[in-house]
Structure 1
Amino acid sequence: MQDSVSKRKKVRALVIISFLLLLIYAKNLIERSSFKEISRAFSEVYDDRLVVKGYIFDISENLFNIQELIDHCDLDYDYSNIIDEITTSENEILDIIAEFEKTKLTEQEAEYLSDFKEIIQNDLNIKSYELLYSDSSGVNIEQVKSYDEKISRARKDLEGLSDIQLSEGKKVMGKAKSLINRSQIWAQFEVALLLLILVVLYLLLFKNFSSKEETDQ
């Protein structure tokens, strides 16, 4: 009779231990999923936010160069190749935009980028130097002013894109922080389960040892 009771206790203890081990295994699967999500989050911050900030900076540099050429800022500069220089800067911008478009864009980002691209391709596509300057009348102030307004609109698009990088980056980092906190909670849960297993094993072994002593006596 006593052996039967002892066996039932052993089976119960083994069932409890098996259940706890299954919980630990399930926790490890969840942990792996969380770490993959964290890795994706940090990858997104780098690929779709930090790299893009670099794109925006390079685009701004080229746009600034275009505006200087259009405005004839340097009186001593040789403007004989101005159209080629503007075209080169615009092509560099369009190449960067092509890389930008490969990243994960929000709906608002896509709108800003599309508007900016249209300005570069159409509104600032200057075919003739005479549109900016002529020997008889000098700088075409009205036309230059019109181009400057388009560049200002393009800059607003860039500012909007830059703001999105900050807000989206904060969102992704907040998500990563939440995942890390959750992982820490699961780690504490795992420690508690391991302690519980040790307690069950201790009670099982201690009772077996006590039962043997009583039997021997």
Structure 2
Amino acid sequence: MMRKLTHFQKIKIAAASLVVFLLVLATNIMDNNHFDIVQQSLETVLDDRLVAKDYIYKISRQIHLKNKLLYTSDHEQMAKANQKANDSIQTLVAKYAATELTPKEAQYFESLENNLDKLFQLEKQLYSNSSSDQVAAIEKAETYFTRISSNLDVLSEVQLAEGKRQIHYSNRAIENSNLIAKLEIGALIVIGLIIQIFIFFKPSE
């Protein structure tokens, strides 16, 4: 038959129970924090990396099309197709600008915008026949195409690097959560044993 607990033992059991409660509460808060980190990292990878990489790919396709148009014989058709490509690029650039940019990314994105603006201005001369030397203008346009392609390559590499960094944060948060869960189980077992000792241990007279 279980003996009656003393007042001191009851206090110890209440203290141990409080420790268990605080331990569970603390680990729950930390688990929620780790979950938020993982969720935020995954959202960043999707919204600011995968989507941004898709924008870069689509801009690259339009740039490739514009480059080919330089050597199209049908001048009127060439001008219409180029304007359509420019409209598409401007829309994609605006969407890209709305994503979260790293400092390095913002630097190369600004360079991309500047090179695009200069190319668009040069194309106005080309397609309006206002350029006195079409060959020289085309060669200059090729220079801008090369710069723009270089900007897009760097921006694409940034997406890959940032995506890997966010995945690393997620994995580290998951590992920390798993470690805390194991420690929590161990601590609960130890505290449970201590409570059992308080209840059943009968000190010698």
TM range (shorter): 0.7 to 0.9
Q: How far off is 1:20 after superposition?
A: 2.5
1:151 corresponds in structure 2 to 145
1:197 corresponds in structure 2 to 191
Counterpart-to-counterpart distance in 2, 1:199 and 1:4 = 19
- Specify the code of the residue in structure 2 equivalent to 1:7: H
Q: Does 1:114 align with 2:122?
A: no
Q: Does 1:123 align with 2:119?
A: yes
CA contact (8 A) 1:56 1:158 kept: yes
- Specify the code of the residue in structure 1 equivalent to 2:181: A
Counterpart-to-counterpart distance in 1, 2:109 and 2:77 = 29
2:67 corresponds in structure 1 to 67
State, as a whole percentage, how many aligned pairs show the same letter. Answer: 23
Q: How far off is 1:19 after superposition?
A: 1.4
Q: How far off is 1:32 after superposition?
A: 0.6
2:79 corresponds in structure 1 to 83
Q: Deviations over 1:2-52 (max 9, x none)?
A: x99822122112212211320221111111111011100110011111111
Q: Does 1:182 align with 2:180?
A: no
Q: How far off is 1:119 after superposition?
A: 1.9
CA contact (8 A) 2:38 2:173 kept: yes
2:23 corresponds in structure 1 to 23
SS of corresponding position for 2:164: helix
Q: Deviations over 1:76-132 (max 9, x none)?
A: xx4422122112111111111111111110111112111211222232332242549
Q: Select the structure with the greater relative contact order (CA < 8 A; seq sep ≥ 6).
A: 2
| Cα RMSD (Å) | 2.6
Equivalent residues, number? 200
Q: Which has the larger radius of gyration?
A: 1
Runs of 4+ in 1 over 3 A off after TM superposition: 130-134
TM-score, length basis structure 1: 0.83
TM-score, length basis structure 2: 0.87
CA contact (8 A) 1:52 1:100 kept: yes
- Specify the code of the residue in structure 1 equivalent to 2:157: D
Counterpart-to-counterpart distance in 1, 2:138 and 2:164 = 39
- Specify the code of the residue in structure 1 equivalent to 2:94: A
Q: Does 1:163 align with 2:157?
A: yes
Give 5+ residue unaligned stretches, structure 1. Answer: none
